[in-house]
Structure 1
Amino acid sequence: MTLEQNAESILREQLVVLLKGGFAPNVILLQEFDYKKAGVMLDGLHFSAWVLLGHIKARQHTLLNFMKDPENNPDVWPDAHWPENHTPETKEEWESAISDYESELQEMIDMIAKPETPLFQKQANGLTLSWAALTTLHHTGYHIGQLKTVGRQLGVW
């Protein structure tokens, strides 16, 4: 294995770990969040945990579509999707949203882990699949931090 191949392999492994949430796995945090509190909007905030989850899912979905088919999905940063409803209707709706997030996250992770996925090949829009993975990591991490803070204020943890 060349030095370049080794570095790429290490990067793939690290991206997989970090996309899952590192030492605080995102899916576990979401599953621990009491859905009855997922619609609470704290004073001064324009979002609830439910809105954050919807926003995270929408951006991840856009970036995953780019990774799967960059030629037909070049717009990787459309207007931000912020769900209008602030509360999940049922526990099942909350759990389904988490499951959908987890499924698409796993799909992205599986792509990243495959050595044949061209992480560094520039696409027509000038971006790479590694950029999309890193952007997902950054964006999700930012909003998971907000969700964790909201949860602490609401006594979830």
Structure 2
Amino acid sequence: MIALVKELTAALQKGNAHATFEETVKDIPQKLLGAAPDGLPYSLWQLIEHIRITQWDILEFSRNPEHVSPTWPDGYWPKEKAPAPVDSLKKSVDQTLADRKAFVHLLEKAGEDLLTPFRHGDGQTLFREALLLIDHNAYHTGEIIVLRRLLGDWH
């Protein structure tokens, strides 16, 4: 199980074959956070917040049997295109990183329970939730890169 946890942790933190979350949100100009090119339903801010909210939900579901998830889809996407306070991006990114660290801690302490279904839910395991988190974050991290390219703000 140690090798499996190591690989899951690497996929969560390092990006492996793609850019990391940290790389994709680094140095985004404030003026671009609320921009949504024609034909796209969301802004950079909404994507970043969606990652944070969804990751928080997966973390809480994994560690708290009493957790109640937000209503889908409205509870997982911010309504505002841009953050109100200027420091909102930093707070969102910091919380995303803190929650990811907390999830990795769950993985590290799970031991043989990594594949044991939770007592709550409908058969989910911590392993399954880790795969869900890896997949979800990678998907939306890629969208952030594409959106930044469309806005002329990606190397």
Please report the TM-score for the alignment, with normalisation by the length of structure 2.
0.86
Q: Does 1:140 align with 2:134?
A: no
User: Displacement of 1:111 after TM fit?
Assistant: 1.6
Aligned to 1:17: 10
Give the % identical residues.
24
The whole-number CA distance in structure 1 between the counterparts of 2:127 and 2:43 is 30
User: Displacement of 1:58 after TM fit?
Assistant: 1.2
* Unmatched segments (≥5 aa) in structure 1: 1-7
- Root-mean-square deviation (CA, aligned residues, Å) is 1.9
Cα distance, 1:113–1:39 mapped onto 2, change above 3 Å? same
Alpha-carbon contact 1:16-1:109 (below 8 Å) kept: yes
Q: Does 1:151 align with 2:148?
A: yes
**Superposition pairs of residues 4-153 of structure 1, within 5 angstroms:** 8-23=1-16, 24-69=19-64, 71-73=65-67, 78-80=71-73, 81-116=76-111, 118-123=113-118, 124=120, 125-153=122-150
User: Displacement of 1:78 after TM fit?
Assistant: 4.7
* Unmatched segments (≥5 aa) in structure 2: none
The whole-number CA distance in structure 2 between the counterparts of 1:119 and 1:99 is 26
Kindly provide the CA deviation profile for residues 67-99 of structure 1, in whole angstroms up to 9, marking residues without a partner as x: 112x323x6685122110000224311111111
Aligned length: 148
Kindly provide the CA deviation profile for residues 6-65 of structure 1, in whole angstroms up to 9, marking residues without a partner as x: xx2111111111111424221232123223211101110100010011111111111100
The whole-number CA distance in structure 2 between the counterparts of 1:19 and 1:64 is 13
The whole-number CA distance in structure 2 between the counterparts of 1:87 and 1:103 is 22
Alpha-carbon contact 1:21-1:141 (below 8 Å) kept: no
